[in-house]
Structure 1
Amino acid sequence: MDSTDGGFKARKEEIDDLIDKLGRAAKAGLNGSGGAHYGGGQAEPEEKTEPLVLFDAADIGDIDKLPPTQFILGDNFAKGYVSSIIATGGTGKTAVRIAQALSIVTGKPLTGEELFLQCKVLFVCFEDSIDQLKKRIGAAMRHYGIKDEDVRGRLLYAVPGRKSGKLVEADLKGRPRVGALKEYLEKAIAETGAEFICLDPLKKLHGVGENDNTGMDEVIGVLADIAIEMDVAIDAPQHARKNMSKDAAEAGSADQARGASSTVDAMRFVKTLMKMTPKEAQQFAISEGVRKLYVRTDTAKLNLVPPSREATWFKLTGVALANATASYGRSDNIVVAERWQPPSLWLGLDASMQERILSEIEKGMDDGEKYSIAANVGKRCVSNAFAKHDATQSKADARLIVKEFIKGGLLREDIYENGDRKKVKGLVTGPFRHMKIDLSGVPGHTSDGAEDEA
């Protein structure tokens, strides 16, 4: 009985061991459509881990001697960090990033953003063909008058497609693990000496579900490890979701990003790129037909978004190539991004014009009503006072200017009773509007304003 039981147990252990070996062999050889492939049919390697390294806060020392955060261009990219720009398709995110890359390489202020570090750039595109990327970079160089010698050995690019694998991919159990692309990127960075790396777009970098918070956290974590260990800035532009809520569609909203929330949460510098809205086009006197050629960038990790006039704007323009052939008679027109500044708020408002507008506001309307700074007040809108003197400011800009008048004490808001016997706010003379300053005690002046004799 005992011997029989012992024999049975031994045979069961052998069978279990055989099943285990067959299972591991099947996993190692699995490289078809039904599973992930991790390097030529080899077994999945164990993940390397390290124990915690502890430090004592008392040993921090003089923090003024620690190196500052090394930004590269504006507040877009910094060494040791991962950044991104979120945009819907066709908004111009790649065109903007190429213009910024050329600024970094050449040291020229092409985008109007402050350059902190001129350095080499590695631009890796996972979306375009090699010819298309050549046309994009070449068109931007032509547009900005950049010569080959200005970028030789400093702006490197690659179009690996799917041949270089993924940065992170899912294992047989759906868990994220590092793929072959990480090693290839690290080797390219080391060989080129690039300090700014743009990986466009984020979605094509990895093989995990973009809605998987754990997986996407691993993707950004791997990028952050590369950025820190190799002391480089890494940027991974990403697509915006197609069906956004009203709040998410606002400039500067991090909720625009497609997929898991951990993607944006794990990044340090994130911006949105959005086309000019009809309201902004009206404010800047831009026609509806060309409105979508103007795009704005805003920081997506701040609660407060700057007004339209203070945002960073770009204009998308076309560079016509002469690449038509005998069999295909149409040449390409490549989109290039250039910095655009909104018209001055005070355009055409000299001192004389400002005086006439202030007097018009003080006088009020013919029916006794007073002008208002509010937006939806019909004929009482203060922009009508501007229009009476042929000022070209839009309604929005007129209200911004009046806000400056109020700050300066030239105007103020007061409660009055309108024709319907309702108490409403209206604009009246401010405390400093007609103030005369006594200069009698100031050296070089007399009480009547005449200069003292020397």
Structure 2
Amino acid sequence: MMDDFHDLPPMPPVEAYLECKSNVTIPLQVPTPFVWQDPATLPRRPWLYGRHLLRRQVSVTVAPGGVGKSSLTICEVLAMASGRDLMGEWVADDLSVWIFNLEDPRDELQLRITAAMQHHKVEPEESEGRFYVDTGRERELCTAVAGRDGAMIVKPVMDALANEIAFRNIDVLVVDPFVSSHRAGENDNNAIDMIAKEWARLADRCNCAIELVHHTRKTNGAEATTEDGRGGSALLAAARSGRVLNKMADKMKKDAGIPATDLRTYFAVTRDKANLAPVGKRQWRRMETFELANGEDVGVCEVWEWPETFNGMASKDLLAVQNAIESKTARFSEQAGDQWAGCIVADVLGMDATIDRKRIKRILEGWLKSGALVKGEADGPQRRKVPVLEVGEWATE
């Protein structure tokens, strides 16, 4: 018998035992003892893009159609290839990226990528030699097929991907969309589990991060989560980071002060599955139209920040509102019509009391909490006392 368990022969593949005879000796799995290591010397997780893409792991982005997921991933790939913070996320240095779009033809991808580069002012030499683009219209990608005995991985395809990733030193591979990368049953959870784990093995084998872009099922108007991805749930289970895109609803646009005449698409990016990092805060993106020199208008994704309550305001603005309130009866209730204090705020600050109502209410709440305004009483209709807002601590410029 061997003295050191590390001298045991390696475990052969499970398939080797499928036809084994009763006299075949199967080696035991010997447990490996845990060895304490100084925490300061432990290697950090090899994040490549924010807290979403990680070496040797699969990440998933889920979104309904028409939100902007392909435009988002194009801009993120550009950020990684150029090493620049284009989308508000930390980026590792010197990354090589490969985007495999399985839906759009190359001329459409050329338009989108060129528009994104010009909009974000990325020069061609910034990503030269580190940015690769392929399309399923020219080069099919089929990693698994459905057979009589169930789904099967197409090993030559996975090996070819591994060879290309190694040869080009690819750090991040983006496959968009996942459903077009295989021919197995989308609702066959066993098949999806096998395919997802094969992608995870490829990421581990090639020391790279893999991003799989996936569609949601119909949610009937409800906000989607990563669990709303189409087909089997095993894809999300195999991922170590999952995020979902949701288009901003009309009500939220009003809350944000976006005018009804603004027809651009605004959407949220929420990382709601995060095994190896804290769940992320909701981030906002906007689709902007960029006109290329050939006359084509192309949508480009950009960062958009939700407006802060007091964004762009100074002490002089508060002082101007206090002076206006001091000379009028500023009713506390929104039901007071033109006498509502919010109408005074809108008039002084050049806002719209209807469109900006939510923000104005937050402004008044903030000033009440700070003591700049205080609640009082005044004579109202029929000599009844009504709540009003009065000046508390005066602002100074």
Fold in common (TM above 0.5) = yes
**Aligned counterpart in structure 1 of residue 315 of structure 2, from 335, 344, 351:** 351
What is the identity, as a one-letter code, of the residue corresponding to 1:266?
A: A
Q: Does 1:56 align with 2:33?
A: yes
Instruction: Return the alpha-carbon distance in structure 1 between the equivalents of residues 258 and 319 of structure 2.
Output: 28
Cα offsets for 1:360-404 (capped at 9, x unmatched):
7899966xx6347xxx99889764452253452722222333454
Name 1:387's counterpart in structure 2: 346
Task: Spell out the pairing of 1:224-303 with structure 2 (5 A cutoff).
Answer: 224-241=200-217, 243-249=218-224, 253-301=225-273
Alpha-carbon offset, residue 155 of structure 1: 0.3
Q: Does 1:341 align with 2:305?
A: yes
Task: Spell out the pairing of 1:403-422 with structure 2 (5 A cutoff).
Answer: 403-405=365-367, 408=370
Identity, in percent, stands at 23
Instruction: Return the alpha-carbon distance in structure 1 between the equivalents of residues 279 and 95 of structure 2.
Output: 32
More displaced stretch, 95-104 vs 256-265: 256-265
Task: Spell out the pairing of 1:34-53 with structure 2 (5 A cutoff).
Answer: 47=15
Instruction: Return the alpha-carbon distance in structure 2 between the equivalents of residues 175 and 168 of structure 1.
Output: 7
CA gap of 1:199–1:304, structure 2 versus 1, over 3 A, is closer
Contact 1:382/1:398 (CA < 8 Å) preserved in 2? Answer: no
Contact 2:289/2:297 (CA < 8 Å) preserved in 1? Answer: no
Instruction: Return the alpha-carbon distance in structure 2 between the equivalents of residues 214 and 378 of structure 1.
Output: 61
Instruction: Return the alpha-carbon distance in structure 2 between the equivalents of residues 196 and 145 of structure 1.
Output: 22
Q: Does 1:96 align with 2:72?
A: yes
Alpha-carbon offset, residue 356 of structure 1: 5.0
Task: Spell out the pairing of 1:122-137 with structure 2 (5 A cutoff).
Answer: 122-137=98-113
Bigger Cα Rg = 1
- The unaligned stretches of length 5 or more in structure 2 are 1-12, 18-26
CA gap of 1:389–1:160, structure 2 versus 1, over 3 A, is closer
What is the identity, as a one-letter code, of the residue corresponding to 1:56?
A: P
Q: Does 1:187 align with 2:163?
A: yes
Cα offsets for 1:2-42 (capped at 9, x unmatched):
xxxxxxxxxxxxxxxxxxxxxxxxxxxxxxxxxxxxxxxxx
Alpha-carbon offset, residue 115 of structure 1: 2.0
What is the identity, as a one-letter code, of the residue corresponding to 1:280?
A: M
TM-score with structure 2 length normalisation? Answer: 0.76
Name 1:152's counterpart in structure 2: 128
What is the identity, as a one-letter code, of the residue corresponding to 1:336?
A: V
Alpha-carbon offset, residue 196 of structure 1: 1.1
Contact 1:254/1:300 (CA < 8 Å) preserved in 2? Answer: yes
Contact 1:294/1:316 (CA < 8 Å) preserved in 2? Answer: no
Contact 2:255/2:359 (CA < 8 Å) preserved in 1? Answer: yes
Alpha-carbon offset, residue 65 of structure 1: 1.8
CA gap of 1:389–1:95, structure 2 versus 1, over 3 A, is same
**Aligned counterpart in structure 2 of residue 110 of structure 1, from 56, 63, 86:** 86
Name 1:140's counterpart in structure 2: 116
CA gap of 1:107–1:165, structure 2 versus 1, over 3 A, is closer
Instruction: Return the alpha-carbon distance in structure 2 between the equivalents of residues 427 and 53 of structure 1.
Output: 77
Contact 2:83/2:92 (CA < 8 Å) preserved in 1? Answer: no
Cα offsets for 1:190-248 (capped at 9, x unmatched):
0110111111111111222222222222222112222223221111111122x314544
**Aligned counterpart in structure 1 of residue 191 of structure 2, from 196, 203, 215:** 215
Instruction: Return the alpha-carbon distance in structure 2 between the equivalents of residues 92 and 51 of structure 1.
Output: 51
RMSD value over aligned CA atoms?
4.1
Contact 1:76/1:269 (CA < 8 Å) preserved in 2? Answer: yes
Contact 1:361/1:371 (CA < 8 Å) preserved in 2? Answer: no
Alpha-carbon offset, residue 125 of structure 1: 1.5
Instruction: Return the alpha-carbon distance in structure 2 between the equivalents of residues 150 and 182 of structure 1.
Output: 30
Alpha-carbon offset, residue 144 of structure 1: 3.2
Q: Does 1:396 align with 2:396?
A: no
Contact 1:169/1:179 (CA < 8 Å) preserved in 2? Answer: no
Contact 1:71/1:117 (CA < 8 Å) preserved in 2? Answer: no
**Aligned counterpart in structure 1 of residue 46 of structure 2, from 65, 70, 77:** 70
Instruction: Return the alpha-carbon distance in structure 2 between the equivalents of residues 143 and 388 of structure 1.
Output: 36
What is the identity, as a one-letter code, of the residue corresponding to 2:318?
A: Q
Instruction: Return the alpha-carbon distance in structure 2 between the equivalents of residues 221 and 427 of structure 1.
Output: 63
Q: Secondary structure at the match of 1:301?
A: strand
Q: Secondary structure at the match of 2:150?
A: coil
The structure with higher relative contact order (CA 8 Å, sep 6+) is 2
Alpha-carbon offset, residue 97 of structure 1: 1.0
What is the identity, as a one-letter code, of the residue corresponding to 2:315?
A: A
> Greater strand share, 1 or 2?
2
Cα offsets for 1:100-135 (capped at 9, x unmatched):
111111122222322233311111111122332233
Instruction: Return the alpha-carbon distance in structure 2 between the equivalents of residues 412 and 181 of structure 1.
Output: 70
